[in-house]
Amino acid sequence: MEKREFLRLLRKRNKGELDQIEEAKLLRIMDQLQHRELDWEMETREETEIKYRIKSAIYERLNTRNASPHFGWGKIKWAASLLLFMGLAFLIYQVQDTKPGIEWEERTTNERQKATITLPDGSIAYLNTNTTLRFPKRFINGKREVELLGEAFFQVVKQNGASFGVNSQGIKTVVLGTAFNVRAHQDSAVRVAVQSGKVAVFHQDSDIKEPGLELLPRQMATANPDVESFIVEEMDSDSFLDWKAKSISFDMEPFDEVIQRLASIYNYKVELVGKGMDQCQIKATYANGNLFAVLYGLKNLAEFEVENTGERALKITYKKCKI
């Protein structure tokens, strides 16, 4: 970890030149400093540089008051905000503050439950079945970070200078304000899909020089915690949010495709056997409660057997169509 990278990002932020990835990277470095994960000593030259940049930026903005008749409180506030940010960065950089204790809350859903959680900042997390979300009772100093095991959709309230981070199975997703879905079940690849806005995705233990990945709306990244690279796919529809809908509809879809879609929605591994199932067209709508409730309803349209073969694993043997 090089201090020069941190200083470079601070300079770019001062000029308003940071892009989404760099903004997330800077906030991540500051998080690491706050957690005392980086052991940097301040050299006299670096301390002087940061102090000088604080003063220069303030004086430059304030001096424009005499040259421009449009100078007003907005620019004074901008200068004050810059001083506050740089001063905070300087303090964190020296790692002098004692980290306050954080009280965490935890919400867990089982295989038949879903939940809607309002977070301390007003952001909303929609939890799918078999999901655990941990979050602070109160976000301190603008630090908004949660831990996820399972699947959740987040609608994040934008707060200036305060990113929102989701830690899930070794992958960190950072946003400033957007709507996105994270699927991070244990021993499975992590999938991050964006509905609106932009997100930055990192491996939590990656070096700060790693560029990370920026996702745009209707893009999904698949990441394995022990593999550095990401796989990015374009999403043609909101199919990755089927689990969040109140109902699931099938419009003359073959039985095998219906089962594959249900397996994806409820994150089950399904072994499907039988002949002629592609000729059985399903047209129906079911309440989106849990997989077994939907399968029970499907038995009115097709004859099949369900066998539990392991943790979130089923074997479905198709016999015949009833319609």
In a shared domain, residues 116 and 88:
no
What pLDDT does 97 receive? 41
In a shared domain, residues 110 and 231:
yes
What pLDDT does 59 receive? 58
Alpha carbon distances (Å) from 250 to 123, 240, 254, 286: 32, 16, 9, 9
* H helix and E strand count, the chain: 6, 18
Residue 60 sits at φ, ψ, to 5 deg, of -60, -45
Alpha helices in the chain (DSSP H): 3-15, 20-34, 44-67, 73-94, 255-266, 291-298
Last residue in a domain, options 38, 67, 94: 94
Q: What is the CATH number of the domain that holds 129?
A: 2.60.120.1440
What pLDDT does 99 receive? 47
Domain range for 110 is: 104-239
Distance (Å, whole) CA 261 – CA 257: 6
In a shared domain, residues 225 and 273:
no
In a shared domain, residues 132 and 222:
yes
In a shared domain, residues 304 and 182:
no
Last residue in a domain, options 69, 94, 119: 94
Half-sphere exposure of residue 85: CA atoms within 13 angstroms, side-chain side: 19
Helix or strand (DSSP H, E) at 38: none
Domains identified in the chain, total number: 3
Burial class (CB in 10 A: 0-12, 13-18, 19+), 147: middle
**pLDDT-flagged residues of the chain (< 50):** 1, 71, 73, 75-78, 80, 83-84, 91-99
Last residue in a domain, options 72, 94, 116: 94
List, for residues 133-162, the tens digit of each pLDDT value. 999 998 887 789 999 999 999 999 888 777
In a shared domain, residues 231 and 123:
yes
What pLDDT does 86 receive? 52
Provide the CA 22 distance to its chain's centre, in angstroms.
Answer: 17
What pLDDT does 102 receive? 76
Residue entry with tokens 């100078």: 71
In a shared domain, residues 45 and 157:
no
Q: Does residue 211 form part of some domain?
A: yes
In a shared domain, residues 173 and 141:
yes
Q: Does residue 99 form part of some domain?
A: no
In a shared domain, residues 156 and 235:
yes
Alpha carbon distances (Å) from 186 to 91, 108, 148, 170, 267: 37, 14, 10, 11, 11
What pLDDT does 245 receive? 84
What pLDDT does 307 receive? 94
